[in-house]
Structure formats: structure tokens, C-alpha cells
Amino acid sequence: IKLQMEGRKSTVNIFKKIKMSINRPLIPLKIFLFCFYGAGSFVTAFLTVHFKHHGMTLAELSTAYMISPIVQIGGTLLSGIIADKIGRSKPVLSANLAITVLTMIGIMLIPSPKYINCNVQTEYNSSSNNNVTNMKCDVGQLEENLCYKQCINESSKNYSVQTTIKKGSTSFELVRNETIEIQNLCRSKNFTICECNESNGTLCSTLCPSEPDTKCYDESQRSTLSKVTILLYILWMTAYSNSYRICDVTTMHLVTMHNADYGRQRLFCMVGNVIVSVLAGYLVKITTPIGGEKNYSTAFYLFISLISFCFLVVYKLDVQVKPPGRKMKKNAALLLKNPDILVFAFVVLILGTSWNFTNKFIFWYLEEMQAPSVLLGLIPAIGALYGLPFLFTSEWWMKTIGTTKFFIIGLLGYVLYCIGYSFLKDPWMSLLLESANIVTYHLLWVAVILKSHEMAPEGLTATVISAAGSIHFQLSKTSGSLIARFVMNNFGGPAAYRFVAGMCFVVAVFYSLYLYCRNCYTSQFQVLEQSNQENDEKIEC
């Protein structure tokens, strides 16, 4: 192995004609992408569980998920416009990173709501053999039928147990069925076991006191803390999504400056996803006490550390200052009247809808098929690994096939991917289907960024790239969720996957016809323009 220094590039001779060129000014960018995308690989999932443990209800969390995409789209477009207006993306990226860190610290500092002491009274109803526990809390009386208890002469037997929880007249009701094995013992819902003295044959007459496992919160305090948490979470999501989009803008600026390959920079994003997500899971595991609740704070400390380090790395990025954007309103109006831009946005929306549906609801679908948890953990890592060699050679793929044609390939990739999942019988075969991510995500997103950069008029590069990211990752969350709500919920997972496959196939045909008609019109227009120029030259002679 030999190292040669040539200007800003370092060439490593690995074996005979095999060489690897390293662009030294882009090393800070690679470090930034590794840490930034690695931090994002785990934090959202851990935050959801963190909120649940801090008393936030599903309705409150769903409200945050519904509001945040709207705020994110506005924030992303605003960040792109500011970057174009001042001609610099680095200050906008630094500001969003700082807000991301501060809001995450704020979320961690929010205390858990206080518990209210509940006076437990246990009664035994000999006529129905039901053990009824009444918990008198300050928030109202909560009645819970713990379980149906019956002692039998045999050594063991399985019984079906139904638990019904009611709180007030307008609260909630939870019905849970479980099967327990009784070995001459009475066992309550929270697994408190007491011996059973048999009398009158097979019936129990013992009293089994038990502590309820339902937590009673101070509702006024819990509600206030949840509202503050939702506000900080929406602000955090907005700043973090802004960072992703401006990161694409900054990366594209540096790639253009140094005549580098955008796909090879994305390769470090995927490597960070795989490595850091495993590290975060390991930290949570080793810091969780035996038998206690999982300690997610270590993962959040890791996130804060990585984003803070990214903030310092951004300072070292040598991003060229561009002239501030001029006539931005006029250029934006012309952009919205361009049919190529409108069709491009529509295709990106369909691709984003497919991505959000398949990415968010695949685990729900596989769990219904009794897929093992090990497989669910492997799918994201395998999907990232599939893309690594293709991202490394993305420049060759873009030049050979063309960025525009990759949108059609991506749509057809979703057709095959979703048809495969709709007929899936063995969950482990999903590891093969995940290879479609090569064209539906990895190479496709390279094509989206390159096409956005190509189509953007002068002074609107950051705005167009940010808008493309918002359409694909934020706006399409709504459309992807609607498919899950109305198709998957009513007709099942296979029908939903076939619906997405049909949608992508129709759009692929539409986009192919549009490109064909456009190319025919362009070629005829060029022939006509050329003939007019020749006639003008003859007249001048």
C-alpha cells in the first residue's frame, strides 16, 4: 500500500491497478455525515418510548405527529430561502443544529409527573369467585376486575383471564385476555401469588390482596408537562428536519466545488446508520438495571454528543460563499409555471408516499405474520448494507442511465417490492425483498438531489433541494398514513401493498409517456428553430 499526495487529493495504491482517491477537503464532510446520520438512526424510536414512560398518552403523541409535518415543511422552506438569500448554507445549518441540541436538552430536563397514592381495598365475592380491587385515587375511582380465580384438584390447568379497566363515565376501557397456569395457587394480575386453602371441594375461600399496576398521575401536572413536551418535540423535529435538508444543500455545494461524487458522500451516511444505531442499543442495554425500566437517557446523551460534535465540524467545512439570490420571487413564479418542475414534484410525492408507507408500516405488517424480533432488527441494517456498493459507484450509474430515468426505475422498483410483500408467506424472505432499496431509496435519492440541483435556477438552489426533501419526507407522511388508515386498516396488509404497487405502476407509465412526448416536442422544436436560422442566413446572403 502506497500513499501519494497530489494537490488536494491523496491517492492510495492498494493492489496493482486498484487505487483509491481521497479528497482531503471533503474529509470533514464525511465525518459530519457519519455522525449526523448515525445520531438520527435511533433517536426518534427511543423518544416515542421515552414519552410513553413519562405519562404521555397515545392521543397526545398522535397530535404531535399530525402537527409536526406541517411545521417542518414551513421551517424547511424558510431555511432554504434564507440560505439562498444570504448565499450561505453553513450559518443556517449551524443554527438548526444548535436548536436541535437545545430542544433535546429541554426534553430531557422535563420531569416525570408525580404519582398519587392509591388506597387499595381488596374484596372477595364468594358467589362469583371474582377478586375485585377498588383503588380510591384523587383523580377518581378506578374499578378493576383483576382475574377469575378458581382452585382445582388437578396439579395444573390453563385458564383464560379477562381484565377490564374502567375509569369514570367518559374515560377508557381496556379489555385484556391472557392465559395463566394455576398450580393450586391463586394469582392476581400483577403476579402476586398467595396460597389457596381448598374448601368445599374445588372452590377457593381465601383472600388474595394485591397492589394494582395502574399508575395514578396528578392529571393537572401531567397535562401541563405533556403540552410543554409536545411543544419542544415539534420544535426539535422542525430544527432536525431542517438540518437534514440544509445538509443536502451543503453537501451538494461541496461536491460541486471539488468535482466529487455525491453518492460516495452518502455512503458515509449509511455506514453511520448501521454502526451508531447498534452502539446506541448496546449503551441502553448495559446501563439498564436488571429488572428495571430501560434507561434511554444514555442514548439521548449520545445523540447530544454527536450533534454537538457535528456543530464543531461544520465550522471546519470550507463552503464557498455564493452571491445572494436576486429576483427570487420572479424566479420562483417561473419555476411554478414550469411543467417539468410540477411533474417532478408530483413524482417525488408518489415516491415519498410509497417510501413512508413501506418504511413506517412494514414492522406492523410483519408482526401480524408472527415475524421474530431478530428479523425486525435486521431489516434496517440489511437495507443499508445493500446500498453501500451502489452508492460507491453512483456516479457511474447516473452517467450510464441518467437521473431522469432513475425516477421510472424507482417507481418500478416499488412495484416489484410491494407485489413481493403482498404475496409474502415466509417473513425471512423479506431480507431479499429489501434489496429493492437500492433503486427505491439509495440511488433514487442521489438522482433526486442531482436533478434538483440541475433544475434549480440561479439563486434558488437551496430552496429547490429543500422543497424536494420536504415533499418526499414530510408531506408524503400524510398520504402514506392515509393509505394505512383506509386501505390497510379495512382490507389488510396485502391489499395495501398491492394498492401502492398499482399506484406506482400507473405513475411510472404516466411519467414515461410525459418524457416521450416532451422529447418529441423538444426535438421537433429544435429542428424548426434550426431551419429558421438557416433561412435567416440565406436572406442575409
Q: Where are the domains of the chain?
A: 34-112+220-324, 115-125+139-171+201-217, 328-533
pLDDT at 52: 77
Same fold, 34-112+220-324 and 328-533: yes
- CATH fold of 328-533 reads Growth Hormone; Chain: A; (1.20.1250)
| pLDDT at site 513 | 95
Q: Which regions of the chain are under pLDDT 70?
A: 1-21, 58, 115-219, 291-292, 321, 323-325, 373, 523-541
Instruction: Copy the grid coordinates of residue 232.
Output: 419542544
Give the model's pLDDT for residue 460.
86
Residue 288, helix vs strand vs coil: coil
What architecture is domain 34-112+220-324? Up-down Bundle (1.20)
Q: What is the pLDDT of residue 521?
A: 80
- Among 269, 501, 220, 516, residue whose Cα is nearest residue 383: 269
pLDDT at 541: 45
Alpha-carbon distance of 536 to 375, in angstroms, equals 70
Q: How far apart, in whole angstroms, are the C-alpha atoms of residue 526 and residue 541? A: 23
| Phi, psi angles (nearest 5°) of residue 113 | -65, 150
C-alpha dist (Å) from residue 427 to 339, 366, 369, 511: 42, 7, 7, 33
Q: How far apart are CA 14 and CA 3, in angstroms?
A: 9
At 204 the three-state DSSP class reads strand
pLDDT of residue 191: 32
Q: What is the pLDDT of residue 458?
A: 79
Residue 535 CB coordination number (10 Å)? 10
Residue 375, pLDDT score: 82
Helix, strand, or coil here: 302? helix
What pLDDT is stored for residue 48 in this prediction?
78
